[in-house]
Structure 1
């Protein structure tokens, strides 16, 4: 999802809601990209920020970003934070659902792609996710 910057910010936590989860374990990677004219650009972080979700967890999940010292400058204007599905282990053979609640929103875009090397596609909307950050002028 895209986020707008109005000040220089240090990212502290990434928070998102899980409404459905049929997996014993899931592994994701956080990626942060620049956005130019609404299109994803360069990867802004070099750290491998990996996190797990276990035992069909649902509800809110918070990922501590403090160890990665992610500083974003106001001049960036807007950026894209993605979670990349790395691996999974189903609870049952027929398990296939993992979802983050979404809603229509003219102010945000949801970006997605099926494979790492595919081009991003987007649609207007907002996912149930937010960032905690310390910001200053």
Structure 2
């Protein structure tokens, strides 16, 4: 069992390792980017990557406080579902008005990898191999659709 401080240190080490692994990879526009802290540039739209004790996940999270705005963004993304699928190459789970770990209502479009544990460094290659192609694909998708969210 890990103390809170030990668990935090392991998670921090994982994200530093992931960031170093991704550092040479440019974004869709050919620029350097901080992949672990990806910024969409649109308020209340986030790309979330998680590595936990029993899963890893990646997704788009719509965090607008107004649930109707979440639904509007959700519907807008649903119209682009084929483009997202073309980028990521797989179906993702679409969850309108779910609860996050803080009890807030958010909307998520995500892919989960069960059965991995960030506390086990032996699982890190699996987690990185799961996250890397998907964050790159999300970036390519976002590069195409972001102008539709800037209005």
By the TM > 0.5 criterion, same fold?
Answer: no
Q: Which has the higher helix share?
A: 2
Q: Which has the higher strand share?
A: 1
TM-score normalised by the chain length of structure 2:
0.27
Q: More relative contact order in 1 or in 2 (CA 8 Å, sep 6+)?
A: 1
